[in-house]
Structure 1
Amino acid sequence: MIRWVTILAIVAYPIAVWCGLKTWGMGILAPLLGSVFILRLLTFRGKLSQLTFFGKAIALAGIALVAISVLLRETSLLLYYPVAVNLLLFVLFFSSLGARQSIVERLARLSEPDLPPAGVSYTRRVTQVWCIFFVFNGSLALYTCLNGDVGLWALYNGGISYLLIGLLMGIEWTVRKRLQRS
C-alpha cells in the first residue's frame, strides 16, 4: 500500500508543490516531499533492472532537489523535478537504442518472449518516438520553470503533460493493435 501511495503522491507532485508553495510554505512542503521521495526510493520495484536503476535515480533527483531547495532557501528549484524526470527517461530510452534490445522491446518481451522481427523493429521505432516525446515534454517543462508562473507550471506538469502521455500511449496502443491484426 505504501508503494501505491507514493506513486500517487509522485503523480500529484505538481499539485502538491503548487498548493504547498501557496499555502503551507517550505516548513511543511519540504519534509512532506522529502518523505515521499525517500519512500519511493525504498519501495521502487521495476520489471527490469534498468528500470529499477532509473526509477531510483528519479527518486534521488527528487530528494536532491528538495534538499538543495531547503539549503539554498530557493523554492523555485522544486519546479525542476519534471525536467529531471524527462531528462532521466530520455537517457534511459535513448541509451537503450544502442543496446541489443531497446527498453520498449524488453518490456514487450515480458508478455511476448518470442517477439517477431517486425515487432523488434516496431519496438525500436516506439522507443525513438518516446525519446522525441521526452525532449519535447522536458523542454516545455523547462519553459514553465523559467517562465516563473507557478500556476502555468502546475497546469502543464500536473495536467497537460499527463494528458499528452496518455494520448501518446493511446495512439501507440491503437497502432500496435492494427499492426497485429494485419
Structure 2
Amino acid sequence: MKHLLKGIVITALVFYPFLVGYALSQGHLVWISVLLIVLGMLRLFSKGNTLLWPLTGFAILCGGFSLILQDQQWLKLYPVLMSVGSCVIFATTLLRPPSMIERFARLAEPDLPPEGVAWTRQVTKVWCGFFIINALIALYTVYAASMQIWVLYNGFISYVLMGILLLGEYLLRKRQQGLHQ
C-alpha cells in the first residue's frame, strides 16, 4: 500500500502542470491548492528521504499561500521552487558527499572508481547549473507567458531537458570510464 501511495503522489506531481492548467481553466483554484497541500502532506508523512523535505515543504507552502491568498501565481511558482529546491539538494551533496550523481551512479555501479567519483562530482555541479537555469525559465513562464506556455514548459520541455541531461551524463560517463580502463 505504501508503494502505491508513493506512486500516486509521484505521478500527480509529475503531471502537476497539466492538472494546474486544467483546474485553473475550469475555475478550480481551491481544488488544486488543496490537492497540492495534500500531496505535500502525504509525502511528508511517508517518511521518505529527508533530503527531499524542502520539495515537500514547497508543495505545502505554495498550496497554502494559493489557498489563503486566492492567488494562482503560487500554484504556478511551485515548479520554480522545485528547481530551486533541487539545486539546493544537489549542492548540499557537494558539501556532504557522496554527490547526488555519484549516488545515482552507484545504483548501477557500486564499485565506482575514483575517476568516476570525480566525474560524478563535476556532473552534480552541471545539474546545479541546470536547475538554476530551469528555475529562471520557469519563473519567466509564471509572469511573462500564457498558461499554455507555462504548462508546455513546466510539464513537458523541462522534463525532456532533464532526460537529455541524464542520458548525456550516462553516455559521457561510460565513455569516460572507457578512457580510464
Identify whether the pair has TM-score above 0.5, normalized to the shorter chain: yes
| Preserved CA contact (<8 Å) 1:14 1:154 | yes
Q: Does 1:18 align with 2:21?
A: yes
Aligned partner of 1:83 in structure 2 is 80
Report the alpha carbon displacement of residue 146 of structure 1 after superposing the two structures with TM: 1.5
1:5-55 residue CA offsets vs partner (Å, 9 max, x unmatched): 11000000100000010014123222222222222222263xxxxxx2232
Amino acid at match of 2:86: L
Q: Does 1:29 align with 2:26?
A: no
- Structure 1 stretch displaced more, 98-107 or 7-16: 98-107
1:124-175 residue CA offsets vs partner (Å, 9 max, x unmatched): 1111110111111111011111215211111100010000001111111111
Identity, in percent, stands at: 38
Aligned partner of 1:48 in structure 2 is none
Aligned partner of 1:55 in structure 2 is 52
| Preserved CA contact (<8 Å) 1:3 1:44 | no
Question: Which runs of 5 or more residues in structure 1 are unaligned?
Answer: 46-51
Distance 2:168 2:61 in 1: 34
Amino acid at match of 2:134: N
Question: Which runs of 5 or more residues in structure 2 are unaligned?
Answer: none
Residues 62-101 of structure 1: matches in 2 within 5 Å?
62-101=59-98
Amino acid at match of 2:13: I
- Structure 1 stretch displaced more, 89-98 or 72-81: 89-98
Aligned partner of 2:133 in structure 1 is 136
Report the alpha carbon displacement of residue 113 of structure 1 after superposing the two structures with TM: 3.8
Q: What's the TM-score once normalised by structure 2's chain length? A: 0.89
Amino acid at match of 1:60: G
Aligned partner of 1:181 in structure 2 is 178
Q: Does 1:39 align with 2:42?
A: yes
- Structure 1 stretch displaced more, 151-160 or 91-100: 91-100
Report the alpha carbon displacement of residue 117 of structure 1 after superposing the two structures with TM: 1.5
Report the alpha carbon displacement of residue 110 of structure 1 after superposing the two structures with TM: 4.3
Shift >6 Å, 4+ stretches: none
| Preserved CA contact (<8 Å) 2:37 2:63 | yes
Q: What's the TM-score once normalised by structure 1's chain length? A: 0.88
CA RMSD after TM alignment: 1.7
Amino acid at match of 2:41: I
